Structure 1
Amino acid sequence: MALIGPSGSGKSTLLAALAGILPSNVRMTGNVLLNGTTRTKGCRDISYVTQEDYFLGTLTVKETLTYAAHLRLPADMNKNEIDKVVTKILAEMGLQDNADSRIGNWHLRGISSGEKRRLNIGIEILTQPHVMFLDEPTSGLDSAAAFYVISSLSNIAHDGRIVICSIHQPCGEVFNLFDDLVLLAGGEAVYFGEAAMAVKFFADAGFPCPIKKNPPEHFLRCVSSEFDSVTTLIQSRNVNIDVRSLIFIEFSYENDDKGDQIRTCRTLQELHTFCKCKDENQRYKKKLIAGSLLFNIGTSNEAIFSRGKCDGFIFGLMVFLCLGGVPFYLEELKVFKRERFGQHYGVAIFVMSHFLSSFPFVLAISLSSGTILYHMVNFHPGFSHYCYFCMNMFCFISITEGCILFVAALTPNLLVAVGAATGVTVSKFKDHLPYCNESGFLFTL
């Protein structure tokens, strides 16, 4: 079923109302019923695909589907069964040739937009949902990619599932793939029925479609031209729409037990660790540069002040190194929000898995940084002092990453997140950072 209409006609709002994801500041009257009963919040027989495609760009197509399958499919399925499901989804979405290709992100080239959209749909059909909502799945795609995406959705619908998607202005080939059509204008339903009968409906209402004219374009032009024309069409419609009976389906849902939560946490921990292994920045050169700037400060009277500032400089450097992970935190948060909507895991499991996956990397960074900087700067000798220094670095980096993740969760985009985190960092460590004079010599204030 296709929802078409001009911009602002209410397509996305209707989808959000049916899927139960309306914003908190929007009030909805009436009820959305499934098989005569109120939809439960944790119902997994409904999936919603947004316009944006959120993935971890360092993973390949097959790896993304595999991890999604481990999170969504029943716990009693073994690895071979999951691999068969993943292979089937790859074939169904036409992604076999790109199974080992990286998805890509802001700094890594990957698959095309159409392939990302099909991958997003493939993730949602892993659990075989009875009802699928898609918000403009062809947005930003060329005609060939749009036809491939809608053709895949048509095959899914013919397998016995309900597929409802909003689409702005489909071409003729794409329009012919839809079975039913809902035409909206000004928040009102102008037409609701079979897509093939829409042309006859407009002709009977006095708006015949010209020959060689794309029917959706003609429909949109009719409902967008004048308000009186829209009113005439609304009054002449002969189909009564009852939203409560729009979707009629039997569903079942079982709550996750503690075993599933532990399994989910372990899977997320493995996923985060795998991503960090594939995209861990090489920071050793930066540590060596920092150590060379503060190399063997000494214990003279002139060096006492610089020695006191050294700790602030080192920990400030660690903060700026952590800021480099803000884009990846935002990427993970976007994926988390999508998974959270599907009731696959909650905030506590996400935070715990993120901490457990980061623990070995933070420990390795603390030991390597502490070893390089402690001996190059020539701090107070003694193994206990060295261990205390490394432990401080570990705690500091862990707390800093947690704060940056918190800031990233509150900000809408990458630029604001980096700006907010940088502002907090500079205001905290501005009195401890070294400066350069006009001659290029390093000194501290």
Structure 2
Amino acid sequence: MTQSFQKVRALTGMKDILPDTSSQWETLEATVRAWLAAYGYRNMRTPVLEQTRLFTRGIGEVTDIVEKEMYSFTDALNNEHLTMRPEFTAGMVRASIEHNMLYDRPHRVYAMGPVFRHEKPQRGRYRQFHQIDVEALGFAGPDIDAELIIMLGRLWKILGLSDIRLELNSLGQAHERAAHRSALIEYLEQHQEVLDEEARRRMHTNPLRVLDTKNPAMQDMANNAPRLFDFLGAESLAHFQEVCDRLSDAGIEYRLNPRLVRGLDYYNLTVFEWVTDRLGAQGTVCGGGRYDGLIELLGGKPAPAVGFAIGVERLLDLCAHSGEVTSPPECQVYVIHQGAAAQRLAARLAEQMRDEGLRVIVHAGSTGFKSQFKRADASGASLAVILGEDEVASASASIKWLREPAIEGQPQQETVPLDRLMKELKLKV
């Protein structure tokens, strides 16, 4: 007796993207590529798998990502410790070092693709999710910090998103953070009675993250904690003020958030997040900042850098409400045919239409006209080209509008000679 095969399903938090939805992804990706090209950013593609120590070194060993969210394993063939990338920045910096990219000039680069974190799936965030990652490598000035934020303001306008707001902070330099860290630890030790288990665990290893708590019982404590901003020196403050001035010049509104620290260890100076209230508690759509020490930390010559990452699922969720990113139709022209000669003619004509740049589907099989028209309408095509015995005999084709004609008063259906078909289609589609 043959045993029944148990149905295989996608892993928890790893989502299939089906054709009706993936067309929206393709539309968004094309929009993003054009937007980045307008600022001179070029595509970089790095491996999904990297050595685990790249992330423990770059992201920080006491961050949530490294401690409990990474998909890591030991390669049985060579005993290497490997991790599926939980973010793009560390891998892109590794690639820039390995290939001596910063030897002669700075680079504006971006990547798009999946990243992996073993966290609780939630709205707009999965265990395999997708990011748009943008990095400006080798640029030191506040002008680039501001340019990246202004770029994002333009993207939201392109996508028709009006309810995303900017939060901004500065983390200063290492010696300023060290002075603040000592004062913060002392403060937290004096308020241990209100700290939850997670905060007590982080109090001495990553105290800045304690201030980023969402626990309502800790809000007053966090609000009254020593502010890193008060420990910044003149140079750090001048850098931050220049960023703010340039944002004001561009008409970008922002809110100073002294508790904004980001979740990774490599940031310094400017940090920012674009947030929304439309995605519930997990409202960050885009986050980033400056990370001048990371290139040296990962073995390269000292060089400044700044960048950001956008969550694609969250962005698509927002775009669904704005209506700016929609599924395009399957084709522009759907070819309907009846009879063997018409079916062969349909295939030849469709290739000519594609030569002219049209997107065309030829009905597969030999079903009746009624079912073919039903499928043509479902395709979203603007026009149907109809070929039957009469059309084959007269070397003609019928063109029928499946939607409203683009020009008022134009007939819903007309028959044209085959030698005029391409010209008529190009005029109508």
TM-score (normalised: structure 1): 0.24
TM-score (normalised: structure 2): 0.25
Question: Which has the larger strand fraction?
Answer: 2
Question: Which has the larger helix fraction?
Answer: 1
| Larger RCO of the pair (alpha carbons < 8 Å, separation 6+) | 1
